[in-house]
Amino acid sequence: MPMIEIRDVSKWYGQFQVLADCTTHVDKGEVVVVCGPSGSGKSTLIKCVNALEPFQKGDVVVDGISLSARGTDLPRLRARVGMVFQHFELFPHLTVIENLCLAQRKVLGRSRPDAVGKAMHYLDRVGLASQRDKFPGQLSGGQQQRVAIARALCMDPIAMLFDEPTSALDPEMVGEVLEVMVGLAREGMTMMVVTHEMGFANNVSDRVVFMDAGRIVEDCRTAEFFGDMGARSERARQFLGKILPNRVRAEQGQSTR
């Protein structure tokens, strides 16, 4: 049974349709990368999975629970699905350890020692145990994003959603965040990842979903997606053609500076 099922989801901002009949799924333990040009609706789609974005048509079912059914306890459902944002969104008025304990205490009702123990476990895992009493503003972008991942893991999520987790980072910090994500994937975490990191998609993901103009254009095994370009849609070929050389060019630009 899929952990996350997205069924015919459509969404409009006024007259403008941002999502058109999107259907896909993420199985338990599967890593699915969602990619596509900017404005294609991939961030909107992933935010529909934990109901941060409302949608007008279709349904999302997470672990057998329908988001659009009456009586679904959305806060409780969200607490079980971890989410990592492009801009980290740590709470700047709380220390690292307080960021990690807040929802454990207020939502799960864990005792302070239990919450701190769990928090320290995951902080250690992302290599930031020594930063526990710092404020987010005192950390680098890469460190903040690793704390944000730890914050989500503290809730013992059944799945993790990543919304462009490395897009706001300086290039030298991308690696440390991806490394944590690769580790999670290897351990069998169910993951849905919106990203432009085609290396991560190619090496780690099981499936790739390609979106354009609010539609899911491609949804196939990763080996297929990167292997047989001839079988890909024209739009996906254009996108890959642009994004892959772009990265090479960017790296060359770095070295000449």
Partner 1 sequence: MAGFDWGSIAASLPFLMKGLSYTVQLTVIAAIGGTIWGILLALARLSGIAPLAWVAAGYVNLMRSVPLLLVIFWFYFLVPVMLQWITGAAYPPRIGADRSAYVTFILFEGAYFCEIVRAGIQSIPKGQLSAAYAIGLNYAQAMRLVVLPQALRNMLPVLLTQTIVLFQDVSLVALLNVTDLVGAASKIAQRDSRLVEMYTLVAVIYFVLSYALSLAVKALNRRIAIIR
Binding residues (CB under 8 A) for partner 1: these are 47, 50, 52, 75-76, 78-83, 85, 87, 89-93, 102-103, 106-108, 135, 137, 151-152, 155
Using the minimum distance from each CB to partner 1, give the nearer residue, 81 or 201: 81
Using the minimum distance from each CB to partner 1, give the nearer residue, 56 or 138: 138
Cα 91 from Cα 87, distance rounded (Å)? 11
**Shortest Å distance, C-beta 256 to partner 1:** 35
**Shortest Å distance, C-beta 253 to partner 1:** 30
DSSP state of 39: T
**Shortest Å distance, C-beta 75 to partner 1:** 5
CB 57 within 8 A of CB 9: yes
**Shortest Å distance, C-beta 79 to partner 1:** 3
Using the minimum distance from each CB to partner 1, give the nearer residue, 52 or 220: 52
CA 227 to chain centre: 24
CB 34 within 8 A of CB 46: yes
Using the minimum distance from each CB to partner 1, give the nearer residue, 161 or 178: 161
Cα 218 from Cα 228, distance rounded (Å)? 13
Give 106's contacts (C-beta < 8 A, 6+ positions apart): none
CB 124 within 8 A of CB 89: no
Q: Strand pairing partners for 181?
A: none
Using the minimum distance from each CB to partner 1, give the nearer residue, 106 or 249: 106
**Shortest Å distance, C-beta 165 to partner 1:** 13
